[in-house]
Chain A
Amino acid sequence: MESDWGSPRFVAEQFHRWYQSNARAIPAPTEIKQREFAFLQFGGKTMFRHIGFPDELTFQRYLKDNGPAHSYHSSSYYQRPEADMAGKGWVGADLVFDIDADHFDLPCQHEHDTWKCKNCDEEGTGKHPEICKCGKAAFEEETWLCERCLQAAKHETQKLLDMLIQDLGFSPAGDLVVNFSGNRGYHVHVRSPRARDLDQSGRREVVDYILGTGLKAEYLGFNLRAKGGRSTLADEGWRGRAGRALYDYIASTPPEEIKALKLGRKITNLIVNERDKALTILEESHPSILLKAVDLSDDEKLMSDLSKLMEIAVKSQAADIDTVVTTDIHRLIRLPNTLHGKTGWQVQTIELDGLPDYDPMTSAIAFRSGEAKVYVRHAPKVRIAGAEYGPYTQEAVTVPMAVALFLLCKKGARIEP
């Protein structure tokens, strides 16, 4: 029976038990009285929203009593969090960032993600197409994860943190909270008076900054009229980042790829055939020298070629955040340290210093004892707490509880009675 997959009642019971013993260790978010909370139960379709808590104890009791599948709180602060949207009285909002490997294009997705058209049975790996060959756009998806997607998400998170700290000046100790999202990514919360009252257009500017959107190299040193100066590679902010991005791009891109861009003859020649010269200029001199080394006869063509190059190059330095989450000033975001109903893992707050070595597949495991027998319809190989499991296809296995819950939450298995 289709609906059996995932054995929601079994999982709900496990979650409930976990909350019974762990709820009191879950700290309430700061300024709890001004936050809206929202929860989803297993098997439930409606979200319980507009919930407010007067204090931490009431909040923890709610978790303990209900053992929710998914728990959220508002990034915003409200005068009346329990009122409907119009009556809430927005006071401000943390600046939040969502980095989710779901949005990346990664080779490993073809190994562990599959899709199937609900209409014509067409199927494939990786991300499903926007529209199926048959013209319909309804798909069944199976998305798993592996060390590589988690690593990619962590890498983007580190770039983001670098910009938030070095460029925007937020304090790693006081302003920033980093959470493993419980699935394929990370959330960064910025709690600072200087972030709180930013309006939507201000937040959009921050998003553009993090993504390098709208970057024009001519304002970052790549300007023919600039009166000299030093190399920008070691400079702060996007000035340095843009220079380094171009440097890396020139140093590491195969000639065919550069030629395919169909840039001007002289610029192509400089960065393909005289690559070392171009790199030396960037290392030792002001970027305007590089432009002058190309050609001075057609400024406009030169600058448009440069922006073509930059647009590609900048991606390596930008951090791949979800734009909607950050610009939405009424966003609900996962409650740190609760459980994620699609993995059975814990949404975990991570010390900034600990991030480089953080491994969610070891640390975020909530269910550390017991085992269960499950029948797996399909699961790729996963590595949990240092041991490998699977791949499984239509077989019954007895595995540690954490693994069982992961397979169940992903709907790839059901409890074998």
Chain B
Amino acid sequence: MLEREAAKYPFLTEAAKLVDALNLQLDDLASPAYEKVLDRAAERVVQAIEDGAVDDALDDYMTELLSFPIAVMFVSAKGEPFLNRRYALAEAVRVYFLLQDEERDKLAQIARDDFGWALKDSGERYDGVLHDFRLHFHDYLRSSSSFHEDKWKLVNRIVKNGYVLLTQREVARLIQGEAEILIKDRLKPVKINLPEPIQRRLDRVSKVFEENRTRLGGEGLPSEVINEAFPPCIRFCMEGLLAGRRASHMERFALTSFLVTVGMPLDSLVDLYTSVSDFDPAMTKYQVEHIAGVKGNRTKYTPPLCDTLRTHGICRNKDDICERIKHPLSYYRIKARRLAYQKPPLPPQASNITQQSQ
């Protein structure tokens, strides 16, 4: 495998072999010659934490290639399941960026040779869209398992003879999904004593992680959003989201429009979505802003009526307040008033979404 290819896709077996062949020991890495590698490794993790995506710089192949296993080591050393997920996703997003510039044959090669997928050429057009490939549904289900949008559901795909029709872009997205799984698999908890220069970078990573932890966990929301007053339907959507359940379009719409309306800042909302799953940050931001009336046709959407939510199976666990109202926002208002009578206002840290949902 070429160094350049290995640098792009360091999680592939071939790339790992290349690294193994160098037979580097931890102490070697501690030498000044590897300063750049260590810095880039720390940077990969920091970018994952801060931006949710590792950049796709490729100016120094060896640094790119070697920094990956070290970054994996950093994340493994932290042993935080949440960081594992975020890092694996951020690396996978980087892969997706790189794949955008690849030829169709390169995609096919990664899919077939490196992942062992049953991927075949196609060329069929449906609804005016060219589907370059077809992939066996077995491989499709695995690689798309963390995707939540309706369009990835098997039932919404063209499936024939065991194969799912896909555009080139979609294959790139699935490779991203598989990369995420492969990287996650490599993040196993370890306990090692690191030489000082390496430990120093890990400390930096830890610091950034601690600083961001609250923000990423969806905590620290302003106290004026009273989570305890959310109606059962909104809790249902929220819990589903936090549990990683595939949310329907309506669920997400209901949740977003509700949270925007009760005053959750847009950024916290975007963070909430991107922290719990594979939502593409840029896309999520766009959608959230769209619903909030900042983008698009500038209508600010209010949450749907209870009737509508009922039709979509989102109205769950109704309680006594539900009997009196027709709109989830009325529920919120009544419940908030009730709570105000019952007890003094909660300190801010007690009223956050994460605790609410546990």
A27 at the interface (CB under 8 A from B): no
Contact A238:B163 (CB < 8 A) given known A201-B145, A219-B150: no
Among the listed B137, B153, B246, which residue makes an inter-chain contact with A168, where contact means beta carbons less than 8 Å apart? B137
- Give Cα A199 to B142, complex, Å: 8
Contact check: which of A215, A238, A288 meets B159 at CB < 8 Å? A238
Kindly list chain A residues whose C-beta atoms are within 8 Å of the C-beta of B153: 205, 208, 214-216
Report whether A215 and B158 are in contact in the complex, using a CB–CB cutoff of 8 Å. no
Instruction: State A288–B127 Cα separation when bound (angstroms).
Output: 9
Chain A residues, CB < 8 A from B161: 166-167, 169, 236
Interface mask (A281-292 → B, CB under 8 Å = 1, otherwise 0)? 000001010000
Chain A residues with Cβ under 8 A from B145's Cβ? Answer: 199, 201-202
- A229 pairs with B156, CB closer than 8 A: no
Q: How far is the CB of A130 from chain B (nearest CB, A)?
A: 17
Spell out A's residues near B (CB within 8 Å): 166-170, 194-195, 198-199, 201-202, 205-206, 208-209, 212-216, 219-221, 223, 226-229, 235-239, 286, 288, 308
Which A residues touch B160, using CB under 8 A?
166-167, 169, 236-237
CB pair A205–B156 under 8 Å, yes or no, is no
- Across the A-B interface, give the 10 residue pairs with the lowest CB-CB distance, nearest first: A169-B162, A227-B128, A226-B127, A219-B156, A236-B160, A202-B141, A194-B138, A169-B161, A237-B159, A209-B154
Q: Is the interface of B mostly helix, strand, loop or mixed?
A: mixed
Report the minimal beta-carbon distance from A188 to chain B, rounded to whole angstroms: 16
Q: List 25 A-B contacts (CB under 8 A).
A: A168-B137, A169-B160, A194-B138, A201-B141, A205-B153, A205-B154, A208-B153, A214-B156, A215-B153, A215-B155, A219-B150, A219-B157, A221-B127, A226-B127, A226-B128, A227-B129, A228-B128, A235-B158, A236-B158, A237-B158, A237-B159, A238-B155, A238-B159, A239-B126, A286-B127
CB-defined contacts of A214 to chain B, threshold 8 Å? 150, 153, 155-156, 246, 248
Interface: B151 (CB within 8 A): yes
Q: B163: nearest residue on chain A (CB-CB)?
A: A169
What is the CA–CA distance of A198 and B140 in the complex, to the nearest angstrom? 11
Q: Tell me the smallest distance from the CB of B162 to a CB of chain A, in Å.
A: 2
Interfacial chain B residues near A167, Cβ < 8 Å: 159-162
For B204, list chain A residues within 8 Å (CB): none
B127 touching A223 by the CB < 8 A rule?
yes
Q: How far does the alpha carbon of A26 sit from the alpha carbon of B209 in the complex, in Å? A: 62
Min Cβ gap B325→A in Å is: 22
Asked if B136 CB lies within 8 Å of chain A CBs, one says yes
Chain B residues with CB under 8 Å of A227's CB are 127-129
CA distance A170 to B151 in the complex (A): 24
CB distance from A373 to the nearest CB of B (A): 54
A219 to B249, CA, bound (A): 13
Q: Given known contacts A208-B153, A214-B150, is B141 in contact with A198 (CB within 8 Å)?
A: yes
Q: Does B125 contact A (CB under 8 A)?
A: yes
**Contact yes or no, A202 B128, CB < 8 A:** no
Which of A167, A198, A212, A214 lies at the interface centre, i.e. has the most chain B CB atoms within 10 A of its CB?
A167
Q: Is the CB of A213 within 8 A of B155?
A: yes
Q: Which residues of A contact B141 (CB under 8 A)?
A: 198, 201-202, 205-206
Q: Known pairs A201-B141, A288-B127; list 6 more (Cβ under 8 Å).
A: A170-B162, A215-B156, A216-B153, A227-B128, A235-B158, A238-B155
Q: Which residues of the partner chain A approach B158 to less than 8 Å between Cβ atoms?
A: 235-237, 239
Determine the distance from Cα of A226 to Cα of B127 in the docked complex, in whole angstroms. 5
A140 to B130, CA, bound (A): 59
Residue from the list B125, B151, B248 in contact with A219, Cβ < 8 A: B151
Residues of B with C-beta under 8 A to A221: 126-127
> Could you tell me if A198 and B138 are in contact, using CB atoms closer than 8 angstroms?
yes
Q: Once bound together, how far apart are the Cα atoms of A227 and B145, in whole Å?
A: 29
Beta-carbon contact of A202 and B155 below 8 Å: no
Q: In the complex the two chains form, what is the Cα distance from A202 to B154 in whole Å?
A: 10
Which of B138, B142, B145, B155 has the most CB atoms of chain A within a 10 A radius of its CB?
B155
**Which residues of B146-201 have CB atoms within 8 Å of chain A's CB atoms?**
150-151, 153-163
Complex: A161 Cα to B150 Cα, angstroms:
25
**B244-283 near A? 1/0 per residue, CB < 8 Å:** 0010110000000000000000000000000000000000
Distance, CA A206 to CA B153, complexed state (A)? 10
Residues of B within 8 A of A288 (CB): 127
In the bound complex, CA of A9 to CA of B140 (Å): 53
Partner of A238, one of B136, B138, B156: B156
Interchain CA distance A352-B280 in the complex, whole Å: 46
Complex Cα spacing A194 to B138, Å: 6
Within the complex, what minimum Cβ distance (angstroms) separates A182 from chain B? 31
> Nearest chain-A residue to B125 (Cβ)?
A229
- CA–CA, A198 to B141, complex, Å? 8
B159 near A216: Cβ-Cβ < 8 Å: no
**Distance of A308 Cα from B137 Cα, bound (Å):** 28
CB contacts under 8 Å to A, within B3-36, are: none
109-133 of chain B: CB within 8 A of chain A? 125-129
Q: Tell me if A206 and B127 are in contact (CB < 8 A).
A: no
How far is B3's CA from A256's CA once the two chains are assembled, in angstroms?
A: 69
Given the complex of chains A and B, what is the CA–CA distance between A308 and B311 in angstroms?
9
Distance of B250 from chain A, by nearest CB (Å): 9
* Nearest CB on A from B233, distance (A): 17
Chain B residues in 8 Å Cβ range of A239:
126, 158
Q: Which residues of B contact A166 (CB under 8 A)?
A: 160-161
Q: Do B127 and A168 have beta carbons less than 8 Å apart?
A: no
Rounded to whole angstroms, the CA-CA distance of A350 and B142 in the bound complex is: 32
* CA gap between A216 and B155 in the complex, in Å: 8
Which has the most chain A C-beta neighbours within 10 Å: B128, B154, B160? Answer: B154
Closest B residue by C-beta to A192: B138
Q: A214-B150, A216-B150, A236-B160 are in contact. Are A229 and B127 (CB under 8 A)?
A: yes
Taken together as a complex, chains A and B put the C-alpha atoms of A239 and B150 apart, in Å, by 15
Residues of chain A within 8 A of B128, CB atoms compared: 226-229
The smallest C-beta distance from B301 to any residue of chain A, in angstroms, reads 11
Return A307 CB to nearest CB of chain B, in Å: 9
State A238–B151 Cα separation when bound (angstroms).
13
Q: A222 CB to closest chain B CB, in angstroms?
A: 10
Report Cα–Cα, A209/B141, bound state, in Å.
12
Provide the bound-state CA to CA distance between A195 and B246, in Å. 22
Q: How far is the CB of A282 from chain B (nearest CB, A)?
A: 15
Chain A residues, Cβ within 8 Å of B150:
214, 216, 219
Residue of B127, B154, B311 most packed against chain A (CB within 10 A): B127
Chain A proximity of B197: nearest CB distance (Å): 41
For A288, the closest partner residue in chain B by CB is B127
| B-side contacts of A229, CB under 8 Å | 125-128
Whether the Cβ atoms of A202 and B142 lie closer than 8 Å is: yes
Chain B, residue nearest A226 (CB): B127
> Hey, which chain A residues are within 8 Å of B142, CB to CB?
199, 202
User: How far does the alpha carbon of A166 sit from the alpha carbon of B137 in the complex, in Å?
Assistant: 13
Closest-by-CB residue of A relative to B136 is: A194
Q: Which residues of A contact B137 (CB under 8 A)?
A: 168-169
- Distance in angstroms from A176 CB to nearest chain B CB is 13
Q: Which chain B residue shows the least CB distance to A208?
A: B155
